[in-house]
Amino acid sequence: MESTHKSNMATPVLTETIDLAAKFPGRVTPDARPGYSGWMVAKEALVEVSTAIRDELGYDLLSNVTGVDYPEQSKLEVVYHVYKTTGGPALTFKTQTERVDPAEVPSLVSVWPGAELQEREAWDMFGIKFTGHPDLRRILMWEGFEGFPMRKDYKEPFHEEDNKPLKSRWPEGKHSYAEARNPYGDNIMFKPGFDPEKWTPTDPEEALYAALKKYKTEEKDGIKTDHIIVNMGPQHPSTHGVFRAVVVLDGETIVSLKPVMGYLHRNHEKIGERNTFLQNVPYTDRLDYFNSMYNAWPYALAVEKLMGLKVPERAEYIRVIMGELSRIQNHLILFGMLWNDLGAYFTPALYAFEERELILDIYEAVAGSRMMCNYQRFGGVVRDIDEANMKKIKDLVFERLPRKIEEFDRLLSENEIFVARMKGIGYLSPEDAVAYSVTGPTLRAAGIPYDIRRADPYGIYDRFEFDIPVRHNSDLLDRYLVRVDEIRQCLRILQQAVKQIPEGPFLAGKPQYQVRVPAGEVYGRVEAPKGELGFYVISTGKGNPYRYHIRTPSFINITSVEKMCVGTKIADFVTILGMVDIVLGELDR
């Protein structure tokens, strides 16, 4: 069933240079700061320019929106990275606003609806007010939270120093527990002047419920009907973590839905800006904890680009091998958990886990840990794959996995109950998928052959022969089948990689715990198993990143969930959400 559903998308060669400054004189200027690139758009002209970028220049996919704080220049900046779904490099543009509250920037939700959650995040973290945004509320922090955590002058509880390494650790490192240093003796901090005795709580959820479609009471056949609100989660077995969805129901049909998140939020980005460059590598393992092998790759790519490091051949191959194994086990878990959601408890999930175990055994033997691999370094990987483990990989790739994937296919793909629950459910039109910045298998199941491994190749993916599986119905069944096909393609890549891998060094230069990263900005992105994973890093030449932002596929793919769910039954929401393939470590960061 595979052969008819693929597309041999060629990597586009882009030679055109775009001169936005000439097109919009006075409103767009090149970003001339050293190490920076892209265009600076006057905020008054932002909507006009971005509409032209989308419609005339064809950059239809908004990949990344984030804020940057420049207290010295008293500016807040918003950075946009847009791509073409036909492939090619990014177009970066930025806009700046004065750093006084309210700092206002026009919202781009009307141009790219995929900006919705990302703009809410920038509002939440930086206090940038997006005028015209349909539902600008806090997203990762709770309503009523004081301050904007990603601003440079925000200090969290237990703040000791701006940057690591902390001076109190050496040479006079007397251990003390953090809570002992807190005036309240507990892990909380109040804003100055706050008196718990005098505080009257307001309902923090009011704005959330107001954002939903309104209740309406009607008479149907002489009976009064009403819409009801259901809170699914945060503690709900089907959301695979602490994710919450507020759903308005008409009978069993979904009328409106809002995702609520942030329960696992720990402000990874703030921690990242305090860390040294290298210290961020193990932290990325905690993003999408199923794919820790893949997570640090775009970060390494970004920093290597700034440093101008060339990764040795063998390391490139090792990255591909580990990364593709990771993709296989990610999809396998998804299938297993999907069946859990559909009511087939744990039999398929445990079958999937068996293969995953074997892959994790290899990770453990090579990287030292099953899930928190901490394997990538700038300029390569930390350890070579030795003979014994290479043999294990070969055994898996040539013998066991192809056999087991077919078995899995036999177990699930044609099951009538399964098909009935999946076929035609959760439709998302290809236009909507692109507009909502959906990436990964969900986009490819909508008939758009967009895979960064081909569209904008990184590493050595341009050397391998593989297809980008595509399906056209854009329902749950197709999203499942695309992933099955994708596993087969992963095996193809792996088989070529283990045959071709050369001997040689696996790390460029000497291992260093303090790297020198020249000043500049960079955006590194890869096709992670769940979609596009990107790291936006700004270095000022110091030991720590000035800005460290992560564009995670789970977070941005959630934007389209309401679109997929409206009109379906509440029971299908569970499957639709499962198929978006979210993982909370990455969603909440």
Subset of 458-477 contacting other proteins (CB under 8 A):
none
Nearer to other proteins, 136 or 338 (CB): 338
Interaction between residue 182 and other proteins (CB under 8 A): no
Contact assessment for residue 553 and residue 566, using Cβ atoms and an 8 Å cutoff: no
What is the number of alpha carbons within 13 Å of residue 485 lying toward its C-beta?
22
Our CA angle for 74, 78, 79, nearest 5°, is 130
Sign of CA dihedral 370, 376, 377, 381: positive
CB atoms within 10 A of CB 460: 15
Q: Mask 121-160, x = binds other proteins (CB under 8 A)?
A: ----------------------------------------
Interaction between residue 172 and other proteins (CB under 8 A): yes
Please give the Cα distance from 409 to 406 (Å, whole number): 5
Interaction between residue 510 and other proteins (CB under 8 A): no
Cis amide prior to 529 (ω within 30 degrees): no
Nearer to other proteins, 358 or 434 (CB): 358
Q: Count of residues binding other proteins (CB under 8 A)? A: 55
Interaction between residue 357 and other proteins (CB under 8 A): yes
Cis amide prior to 149 (ω within 30 degrees): no
Q: State which of residues 30, 71, 144, 368 lies at the interface with other proteins (CB under 8 A).
A: 368
Q: State which of residues 86, 253, 374, 473 lies at the interface with other proteins (CB under 8 A).
A: 374
Our CA angle for 195, 200, 202, nearest 5°, is 130
* 526, two tokens: 């890869």
Candidate segments 238-246, 258-266, 363-371, 567-575, binder of other proteins by CB under 8 A: 363-371
Candidate segments 69-77, 389-397, 493-501, 565-573, binder of other proteins by CB under 8 A: 389-397
Interaction between residue 166 and other proteins (CB under 8 A): yes
Q: How far is the CB of 7 from other proteins (least distance, A)?
A: 27
Estimate to the nearest angstrom the gap between the alpha carbon of 102 and the chain centroid: 28
Q: Mask 423-462, x = binds other proteins (CB under 8 A)?
A: ----------------------------------------
Helix 476-500 to helix 570-580 angle (10° resolution) is 20
Candidate segments 6-14, 22-30, 296-304, 414-422, binder of other proteins by CB under 8 A: 414-422
Backbone φ and ψ of 508, nearest 5°: -80, 130
Sorted by sequence, the CB contacts under 8 Å of residue 92 that are 6+ apart come out as 31, 37, 38, 39, 79, 80, 81, 82, 523
Estimate to the nearest angstrom the gap between the alpha carbon of 478 and the chain centroid: 22
Q: State which of residues 134, 251, 504, 511 lies at the interface with other proteins (CB under 8 A).
A: 511
Q: How far is the CB of 315 from other proteins (least distance, A)?
A: 16
Q: State which of residues 208, 419, 460, 571 lies at the interface with other proteins (CB under 8 A).
A: 419
Q: How far is the CB of 278 from other proteins (least distance, A)?
A: 7
Subset of 243-302 contacting other proteins (CB under 8 A):
275, 278-283
Virtual torsion, Cα 484, 489, 490, 495, nearest 10 deg: 140
Q: How far is the CB of 236 from other proteins (least distance, A)?
A: 27
Q: Which amino acid is at 416?
A: E
Q: Mask 74-113, x = binds other proteins (CB under 8 A)?
A: ----------------------------------------
Sorted by sequence, the CB contacts under 8 Å of residue 521 that are 6+ apart come out as 35, 36, 37, 536, 537, 538, 539, 547
Q: Which amino acid is at 431?
A: E
Alpha helices by DSSP H, 381-475: 387-394, 401-412, 416-422, 430-435, 441-444, 452-455
Q: How far is the CB of 158 from other proteins (least distance, A)?
A: 11
Please give the Cα distance from 352 to 576 (Å, whole number): 20
Virtual torsion, Cα 300, 306, 311, 315, nearest 10 deg: 0
Candidate segments 32-40, 197-205, 351-359, 457-465, binder of other proteins by CB under 8 A: 351-359
Q: State which of residues 23, 400, 463, 569 lies at the interface with other proteins (CB under 8 A).
A: 400
Closest by CA to 126, choosing from 79, 164, 62, 190, is 79
Q: Which amino acid is at 391?
A: K
Interaction between residue 358 and other proteins (CB under 8 A): yes
Nearer to other proteins, 54 or 268 (CB): 268
Contacts 24+ apart (CB under 8 A), 207-210: 207/137, 207/143, 208/137, 208/143, 208/246, 208/258, 208/260, 209/246
Q: How far is the CB of 358 from other proteins (least distance, A)?
A: 6
Interaction between residue 169 and other proteins (CB under 8 A): yes
Interaction between residue 366 and other proteins (CB under 8 A): yes
Nearer to other proteins, 176 or 217 (CB): 176
Interaction between residue 411 and other proteins (CB under 8 A): yes
Interaction between residue 569 and other proteins (CB under 8 A): no
Closest by CA to 7, choosing from 469, 534, 420, is 469
Candidate segments 13-21, 249-257, 355-363, 577-585, binder of other proteins by CB under 8 A: 355-363
Interaction between residue 364 and other proteins (CB under 8 A): yes
Interaction between residue 497 and other proteins (CB under 8 A): no
Per CB under 8 A, residues contacting other proteins are 164-166, 168-175, 275, 278-283, 347, 350-351, 353-354, 357-358, 361, 364-369, 372, 374, 382-383, 392, 395-396, 399-400, 407, 410-419, 511, 513-514
